Amino acid sequence: MAYLHREFVVFVEYNLKENETYFWYLQWTGNEEKLTALNTIINSVNFDDFSGEKPLFAMDISLKLPEHLVDLHTQVININSFHKMFNKCTGSFTLDTTCFTRFASLDNFSIQDQLIWLFSPCKIERLFTNFRHLYKELLDGKITRDEYIRLSSI
């Protein structure tokens, strides 16, 4: 489904050990239910319990950003990292959020380990359909690496 005016919410990955922070603008439009479930899980973890050895996550669905602002922000130059600092994720969020139901019986540390397994380092983009489609085209040799980088920010 194509959307004329897409909105985005922010997902942040902090890696204090490596001194890196990544911002992911996740397409809210069309993914409201799944991203609300993800937000609930992330905001249920007390990250104050962690010493900085593991990546931390933050998410805010109260602020919806219009696509034109996201497009401007993702043009910010990256600073010494293996991945872009500001990223745009479009398409459908493919994670089956029923996996979050098992989190209810876990402690802070176990939930954090599950979040790290799902999202770190820089894996959240792989859970959006547009990334998966472009990545397959790159692997199949249908597009170049430069085309992949350009198209993945659209």
Phi, psi of 74 (to 5 degrees): -75, -5
pLDDT given for residue 116 in this prediction: 86
Residue 98 located in a structural domain? yes
Instruction: With beta carbons less than 8 A apart as the criterion, state whether 96 and 41 touch.
Output: no
φ/ψ region of 86 (left if φ > 0, alpha if ψ in -120 to 50, else beta) reads beta
Can you give the pTM of this predicted structure?
Answer: 0.82
Residue 144 located in a structural domain? no
Residue 137 located in a structural domain? no
Segment 82-138, tens digit of pLDDT: 678 888 999 999 888 887 888 878 888 888 888 888 888 778 888 888 876 676 777
Residue 90 located in a structural domain? yes
Can you say whether the dihedral through the CA atoms of 34, 118, 146, 135 is positive or negative?
A: negative
Question: Can you read off the two tokens belonging to residue 22?
Answer: 């990544």
- Reference 127, options 87, 79, 86; nearest CA is 87
pLDDT given for residue 139 in this prediction: 73
**What SS3 class is residue 137?**
helix
Instruction: Give the C-alpha separation, 115 to 22, whole Å.
Output: 15
For residue 38, is pLDDT > 90? yes
Instruction: Give the C-alpha separation, 150 to 154, whole Å.
Output: 7
Question: Can you read off the two tokens belonging to residue 19?
Answer: 């001194």
Alpha-carbon distances, residue 57 vs 10, 63, 64, 96 (angstroms) = 11, 17, 18, 19
What is the extent of the structural domain holding 15? 7-124
- Other CB atoms within 10 Å distance of the CB of residue 57: 23
Number of domains in the chain: 1
For residue 2, is pLDDT > 60? no
Instruction: With beta carbons less than 8 A apart as the criterion, state whether 35 and 9 touch.
Output: yes
